[in-house]
Amino acid sequence: MKTLIKAKKGDITTLEVDAIVNAANSSLLGGGGVDGAIHRAAGKELYDFNKKLGGCPTGEAKISPGFKLPAKYIIHTVGPVWYGGNNDEDRLLADCYKNSLVLAEKNNIKSIAFPAISTGVYRFPPERAAEIAVKTVSGYLTKSDNFTEIIFICFDDGTYQIYLDAIKEI
Ligand code: AR6
Domains along the chain? 4-168 (3.40.220.10)
95 lines ligand 1 (CB under 6 A): no
Query: Residue 11 catalytic?
Result: no
Are the C-beta atoms of residues 80 and 60 closer than 8 Å to each other? no
Could you count the other beta carbons within 10 Å of the beta carbon of residue 137? 23
Task: Dump strand ranges (E) for the chain.
Answer: 5-9, 19-24, 61-65, 73-78, 111-114, 149-154
27 lines ligand 1 (CB under 6 A): no
* pLDDT per position as a tens digit, 46-98: 999 999 999 999 999 999 999 999 999 999 999 999 999 999 999 999 999 99
Helix axes 33-42, 44-51, angle to 10 degrees: 110
Ligand 1 atom closest to Cα of residue 32:
17
Return the bridge partners of 113, or none: 20, 151
Ligand 1 geometric centre to CA of 125 (Å): 13
| Rounded average pLDDT over 26-46 | 98
User: What pTM did the predictor assign?
Assistant: 0.98
